Amino acid sequence: MNNIWQNLKESKQPFCVLAPMDDVTDTVFRQIVARHAPADLMMTEFANADGYCSPGKEAISSRLRLSPSEGPVIAQIWGINPDNYFTMAQDLVAMGFAGIDINMGCPVKDMIKKGACSAMIQNPELASKVIAATIKGANGKVPVSVKTRIGFNTIDTEKWIGFLLAQKLDAIIVHGRTKKEMSKVPAHWDEVKKAVALRDKISPSTVIIGNGDVLTRAEASDRAKQTGVDGVMIGRGVFQNLFVFDETQTKHSLAEMLGILVEHIGLYQKTWGDSKSFEPLKKFFKLYINGFDGSAQVRAKLMDTHSPQEALDTIELILKKG
């Protein structure tokens, strides 16, 4: 097996991973990141294994679009039926993903009501079946990991992470908060450090990635030194700074950022055509237009647009005015 987690652990300390984010980390945005400030590894949006193994497969499959230009990508999946994880894992291997990650950390209520994602922290029996089915489906061809939190309502790092470490996973991504805490409190990196210590005792070969409140590559290096994690996952950081994975942190002008936005819109059109709404693109405007004189006014003009072409025309006028 070509184990991307072990390869990264051996080649870079720490390595940095782009977090899975719904309606954000689709193939289009991953290609933009790969072109301008590549992460060491990226993840897809959340893809529902139960929906994938149903008549709704086509809708789920759009979340799994993959371009060779992105570099290695991990497919992140969720659901409650182990048989569907097995089937989907087989397909993900054939699609060319570098690995499969199981979402056991998302705190969204609708997912929890179904018994999925962070609800599995309270249901280790189901969690073990899901992990086993995914590993069986992957058939030793790609690594299997879990992204999770340090507890459900209360911190329970030793019991829960200890349980996961016993499941023969290739990697565990530890978000340093409980489900109940959502993102309302600072991440408990002391608990992430505890997870590393548990790994050293229970499963030394498992790669540990820390996650929570890291906004720069320098912060990622500091957290790795403090805790001993092999890698660091960054989510909101890339939404505040497209170049978060670039160690040089070069400053870019408004014209340069608008140029990349034009590239993003064009790739979005080419990839999705009329199959996807224009509205999700608007959440990226603040990423590209922030910290410049008049940023708010420029964003307001773009937020008033209703199609990719209208947005492109507006950007052209802005650039002409200088």
Q: Which amino acid is at 214?
A: V
Residue 166 burial (CB count, 10 A): 13
CA–CA distance, 18 with 30 (Å, rounded to integer): 9
- CB hemisphere CA count around 224 (13 angstroms): 20
The DSSP result for 266-320, as a single string, is HHHHHHHTTSS-SGGGGGGHHHHS-SSTTHHHHHHHHHT--SHHHHHHHHHHHHH
Alpha-carbon span 44 to 50, nearest angstrom: 17
Beta partners for 43?
A: 74
The span from the CA of 21 to the CA of 282, in Å, is 15
How many Å separate Cα 119 from the centre of its chain? Answer: 19
Q: Is 106 a catalytic residue?
A: yes
Q: How far apart are CA 123 and CA 116, in angstroms?
A: 9
DSSP string of 36-50, one letter each residue: HS--SEEEEEEEEHH
DSSP 169: -
**Active-site residue list:** 106
